[in-house]
Amino acid sequence: MKSKQIVRWFICLGCIVIGLLYLNGAVGSWWVYWGPPTEYPKAWEQKAVTKFCISISFLFTAAMVFIALKSSFSLKRSVYKYVWVLVVVVSVLYPHLREYVKLDSCLDSGGTWSEEYFECRYK
């Protein structure tokens, strides 16, 4: 029983630390996007969105691990697992879907997609 609680806290705190590190990276990327002049503002914005979504996944996983490894918790009857899966799937897929939609609309409008600049270029 004691080892389960140690593992519960270790995994929970580890996910929180990783989530906060990604959140810090997202804030840094947004700062570069908003702040000083850069040649790649939209690429920095995409990097910030990606890191923010990964951060959300880790923070929700930390909460789910903490709840799921409780001694009196039954994962089979819990609605939390569905919320957790939904949040993780949406947060992992959102940056890719965002890139796909921007790329598709660029190509549909006759432009060329610049992966380096993360924007549509017209000739």
| Model confidence pLDDT, tens digit, residues 66-112 | 888 776 666 666 788 888 899 999 999 999 999 999 999 999 999 99
DSSP assignments along the chain, one per residue: -HHHHHHHHHHHHHHHHHHHHHHHHHHHHHHHHHSS--S-HHHHHHHHHHHHHHHHHHHHHHHHHHHHTSTT--STT-SHHHHHHHHHHHHHHHHHHHHHHHHHHHHHTT-EEETTTTEEE--
In the chain, where are the structural domains located?
2-121
The predicted pLDDT at position 93 comes to: 97
Share of residues in the chain with pLDDT > 70 (%): 93
Query: pTM for the complete prediction?
Result: 0.88
